[in-house]
Every structure is written in structure tokens, then in C-alpha cells.
Amino acid sequence: MYGSRLQTLAIASVVTLAGGFALAAFYAPMDADQGFMQKIFYLHVPLAIVALGGFVFGAYQAVQHLRTGDPSRDLKSYVAIHMSLILGIGALVTGSIWARASWGKWWVWDEPTLVAFLIIFLLYCTYQPLRFSIEDRDRQARYASVFAVTAGVFTPLNFLAVRLADPLIHPRTLDSQDNLPGEMRLAFLVCLLGMALLYVTLWKFELTHKHARAQLRSLKRKLGAADAARGRSAAPEATVS
């Protein structure tokens, strides 16, 4: 069910990402100030954008779960947030490397873009501990969905913080053609598409894995119940003989 077209998505993700990184390395011009180190932009920014988009997608699935009570929506929300956290770690690591090369510091606390992303990331880091601290499955799903929706409301604030910030260190690369020339923009958009495809591929892969594991557990329970029933039916025969 969840694994449909998974192989096609995986191939498309690899091809698109490879093409995007090739464009970034060989087609996009070298940055005049940062040199080759600026190329990390084509990995860092797509990671951050797709991670934030995944959080919003998880909130959407949580809304659908609260509206319909469909447990599959809760599972989709959980996996979407899980995948976004993994990409968020990648965004923070690559951002720190880029900051060290550009600014001489691993982190800059007066930069609103970095701090806003970190706050959102740490907020979602509490999602899983909160979820699995509740044993009842129905209550767990409801509370997790409420959390996902509430946190999802704050995610766009990361974008607004960049736009409304007065002291700005982080560049606004997508605002104009001057900040991101045509060759750079093309490479960036291909990398962004590839990262989005990778996110969807990993999301569907984990859903497929969890669905298959649930089916396996259900099959084991049925086999165990059948064995127990056969054992109970064989006991009277043994007594008679």
C-alpha cells in the first residue's frame, strides 16, 4: 500500500540529487567572497526548507487524524515529523560548517534565522518523548496530533523571522536575481527538488516498513492463537486415550 512506486521515487531522487549537485559543482559560478565553500549552500538550504515543509506536512496529517480518527493519518504524521528531524540535524550540521567557514564561528546567536530554526527543531525534539510517555494508543495518537498541529503553527515563524529581522547576517538568497544569479538558481532548484523527492522516498519507505512490521506482528498473534486452540482441542483426546 505505502510502497507503491517506491523504486521509481528512489531512482528519481538519486538522479535529481546527483544532477543538482553536479550543476552546483560544475555549472554554478564560484562565489566571489566564499569561494568553493559556498557550494554547501546547495545542500544546507534544501535540507532546511524540506525539513520545515515536512513539519508542516506532519501538522496537516495530524489535523486529518483529529478530524477523521483514522490511525493511518497519525502514522503518516509521526513518520513525517521523524523524517524532518533527521533532515533538521543535517541542516544544523551543514549550517554550522558553513558558519565556521564564513564567519569564523560555529554558531551566531544574534542571527534570527539560525535561532528560529533551532527553536523549532528543539520543539519537535520533544514530540517523541511526549508521544511514547503515554501508554494508551488512542490517547497517545490524540495528544501527539494536538502537539503536531500546535507546533506546526509556529513553523512558518521561521520564515517570517528572516523577513522581519532588522539585524541580518544570514543572506536572503532567493529575494532577487542579484543575490542568486540564473545558473545558481537553476542548480539550487534542482537540488531542492531532489531533496524533496528524497524526503518523500524516505517517508514512504518508513511507512512501508512499519506497515509490514505491523502485519507480521498480527500474523504471529494469529498463529499463536491457532496453536493455542489446537493445544486445547488435543488435550481431551490425550486424556481419553
Is the model's pLDDT at 240 over the cut of 50?
Answer: no
Coil, strand or helix: which one is 31?
Answer: strand
Which residue bears the cell 524532518?
A: 84
pTM of the model: 0.82
pLDDT tier at 173 (50, 70, 90 boundaries)? low
Is the model's pLDDT at 68 over the cut of 70?
Answer: yes
pLDDT tier at 199 (50, 70, 90 boundaries)? very high
Is the model's pLDDT at 142 over the cut of 60?
Answer: yes
For the residues 144-163, what does the mean pLDDT come to?
Answer: 81
First to last CA, the chain: 50
Is the model's pLDDT at 241 over the cut of 50?
Answer: no
Give percent above pLDDT 90 in the chain: 35
User: 104 in the Ramachandran plot: left (φ > 0), alpha (ψ -120 to 50) or beta?
Assistant: left
More confident call, 228 vs 19: 19
Tell which residue, 153, 133, 154, 152, has the closest CA to residue 143.
133
Tell which residue, 12, 1, 24, 10, has the closest CA to residue 191.
24
